[in-house]
Amino acid sequence: MEGGVGTVESENREVKGMRKGMTLVELLIVIGIIAVLAGLIFSVILQSRRRGQLAACISNLKQLVLAVHAYEDDWGMVPIEFEHETPEGIFGRVEQILFPYVRDENLFICPEDPYKGESDIRGGRVVWKGKKWKMSYYYFINDLTVKNYLGYEMTHPFPDLVLFNCSWHHKLELIARYDGRIEIAPSGRYRRIGMITEP
């Protein structure tokens, strides 16, 4: 019996002598595993966010191409962007011309645009009737391009005509053509994006 009691006491001493907690190496390993998992989750979330914003941008561009066709049905030609001064401010930007056909200002803004349409990519901001008109996309049909490339008979432009371009997406260009196609191209694929794009 005494032998049994002594064994229990030595076991109790061993248990009391055991360390509580983790060593520094174990702690660093756990922190490293957590950091790797957090990095993987963050990259997946970022990719899914970018894909969602890309899908929203494609939808915006498709709606804007449909608005161009609706305008063309009403007026017999696609809208020609030609800014001019009026007593109420500047008028003639495509977002002002197409607004009655879409009735949603958000369609003119790319979700990836950090400036939310207020950058100077198109020659400055426009105020008309006390309202700021915002646009993230570049529209190619203006007075100059019509004169130089198309002529003024624009009742039925050619299908490959580039209407809109979005360059806000990471390493991608979105190109909306007259026939409704939205092309996703790597940045720099085309030497120039204009009335006719050249690979």
Give the pLDDT score at 121: 64
Mean pLDDT (whole number) for 104-119: 90
Q: Which residues pair with 131 in a beta bridge?
A: 128
Structure-model confidence comparison of residues 31 and 17, the more confident one: 31
Q: In Å, what is the CA distance from 32 to each residue of 22, 35, 41, 46, 128?
A: 15, 5, 14, 21, 56
- pLDDT for 102: 95
Across the strands, what pairs with 162? 177
Digit-coded pLDDT (tens) for 145-196: 777 766 655 555 777 888 999 989 988 999 999 999 999 988 877 655 544 4
Looking at residue 197, its pLDDT comes to 45
What's the pTM value of the predicted model, to 2 decimals? 0.74
pLDDT by residue (tens digit) across 78-103?
Answer: 898 888 888 888 888 899 999 999 99
138 three-state secondary structure: strand
- Statement: residue 61 has pLDDT above 80: yes
pLDDT at 133: 87
Q: Rounded to whole angstroms, how far apart are CA atoms 13 and 70?
A: 88
Q: DSSP letters along 155-175, please? A: SS--TT-EEEEE--STTEEEE
Lowest mean pLDDT among 16-20, 68-72, 93-97, 182-186: 16-20
Lowest mean pLDDT among 115-124, 129-138, 145-154: 145-154
pLDDT of residue 43: 87
Q: pLDDT, tens digit, for every residue of 22-55?
A: 788 888 999 999 999 999 999 888 888 889 999 9
